[in-house]
Amino acid sequence: MPKRTMSAALNFGARLMALRKAAGYTQTELAGELGVTRRMIAYYEGETEHPPANLLSGLAKALGVTIEQLLGTEPVRARAKPRNSRLERQLQAIEKLDARTKRQVIQLLDTFIANEKLKQKIGKQAA
């Protein structure tokens, strides 16, 4: 009997949860990406063995896997880094904002980055 891979050993819900986390999504973010409720994602991450046929292609695309990998019939190839991390998605969302709002968000980020650099500089001087 052939050895079962880790993804094949997991039920659909556990596999979905693992893939969602590996892609850097919260349940709410993934639900928003698919146009469904967070509760629906939570339901499918439960002990279900019946994946939602109407959502399979959207789930696979959002998670960066094939439908076969999502269903566990093919092993998921390990990736060094998720293709579309949470930070990248947030940056893409910022790019879509109007110019004024985008400028404000960038100023806020610049403030946090400068503050962190200052903390690091003070920490090195104290050591």
Cβ-proximal residues to 27 (8 Å cutoff; 6+ apart), any chain: 20, 38, 41, 42, 45
Q: Which fold has domain 6-71?
A: 434 Repressor (Amino-terminal Domain) (1.10.260)
On the question of pLDDT at 79 being above 80, the answer is no
Q: Write out the two tokens for 27.
A: 């349940």
CB 6 within 8 A of CB 14: no
Q: Where are the domains of the chain?
A: 6-71, 97-126
pLDDT at 84: 59
Average pLDDT over residues 10-15: 85
Q: Label residue 1 by pLDDT band (50, 70, 90).
A: very low
**What letter would DSSP give residue 85?**
-
Q: What is the pLDDT of residues 32-78, one digit of tens each?
A: 989 999 999 999 998 677 788 899 999 999 898 999 989 888 887 76
